[in-house]
Amino acid sequence: MIDGTIIHKQPFPSPNPKISLSIVTYMCQGLRIKGMLAEPKAEGTYDGFLYLRGGIKNVGTVRPARLIQFASEGFIVMAPFYRGNQGGEGNEDFAGDDRFDAFAAYELLKNHSNVNTNRIHVFGFSRGGVMALLTAIEKQTTRSLVLWGGVTDMFLTYEEREDLRRMMKRVIGGTPTKYPERYQWRSPLYEAHLLSAPTLLIHGTKDVNVSIEHSYRLERYLKGNNKIVKSWYFEGFSHMFPPVKNRETVKNLSNWMKAQ
């Protein structure tokens, strides 16, 4: 079965009467992958929005309220849970083969009857930044790319996050010193010259989960390769923005996407 094909769709309670939520099961590399779909109920054609979450397993899982935020701005939003999560098949491997779950979710949006196939945007938060960058490089029709507090370099994550090293060694199969090629494969920063989508970087200067150096490096690399990149850096902000600034930023980035 073709990657991105929905094989099951189950309604999920939505706190917003204007947005419908569903748990979808879709195909990727022969695996049944789970994800959440948020769709405005009003008739019409919408831009697609691929939401790529951070974390791993139950850390940083997809939150319905977050998807509704973006769907309320006029997008049909798809958020894969990644393989092995929420009843899906396979094993999540931290931007390894689970990148194909994101690629297939992009195709799911492309095949959605109410999505403008020429206007699919890719968004990544935290670890989802790597997933989003990989997807936008793979899917050259990506209309725009937004990384919010996004990881771009797995070598840098291993260096900065001592608390994640044990997990990374287990999931990736070793250290960057022993298996540099495995970390290189998971670090799309070094292939960003292949990117064609205009890119927006959002980052707090005091982010200790994903240092702003991830965004600085990508911005320098993209500018050095004459790519379109814009940055919104927030002085004193951490990984999670205050609620008011969060809502304001969601609206602003949605408007930026629509202008691309």
Render 58-112 in DSSP notation, one character per residue.
TBT---HHHHHHHHTTTEEEEEE--TTSTT-SS---SSSTTHHHHHHHHHHHHT-
d(CA 40, CA 63) in angstroms, rounded, equals 17
Question: Number of structural domains, the chain?
Answer: 1
Return averaged pLDDT per consecutive 10 residues of the chain, 260 residues in all. Answer: 97 98 98 98 98 92 96 98 96 96 98 98 97 98 98 97 96 96 96 97 98 98 98 97 97 98
- Crossing angle between the packed helical segments 243-258 and 64-71, to the nearest 10 degrees: 50
d(CA 61, CA 51) in angstroms, rounded, equals 12
Concerning whether 239 is annotated as a catalytic residue, the answer is: yes
Residue 170: inside a domain, yes or no?
yes
Residue 102: inside a domain, yes or no?
yes
Residue 219: inside a domain, yes or no?
yes
pTM: 0.98
Identify the DSSP state of 43.
Answer: S
pLDDT at 60: 87
In one letter, which amino acid is 111?
Answer: N
Closest Cα partner for 36 from 61, 64, 8?
64
Residue 194: inside a domain, yes or no?
yes
pLDDT at 59: 86
Residue 4: inside a domain, yes or no?
no
Q: What is the CATH number of the domain that holds 228?
A: 3.40.50.1820
Residue 181: inside a domain, yes or no?
yes
For the record, the structure tokens of 210 come out as 């994903």
pLDDT at 63: 95
Residue 9: inside a domain, yes or no?
no
From the list 22, 196, 238, 239, the catalytic residue is: 239
From the list 126, 144, 187, 211, the catalytic residue is: 126
Residue 122, domain extent: 42-258
- H-helix or E-strand containing 222? helix 213-224
d(CA 34, CA 27) in angstroms, rounded, equals 9
Q: Give whole-number Cα distances, 11 to 43, 56, 80, 145, 220, in Å.
A: 18, 25, 16, 28, 43
Residue 6: inside a domain, yes or no?
no
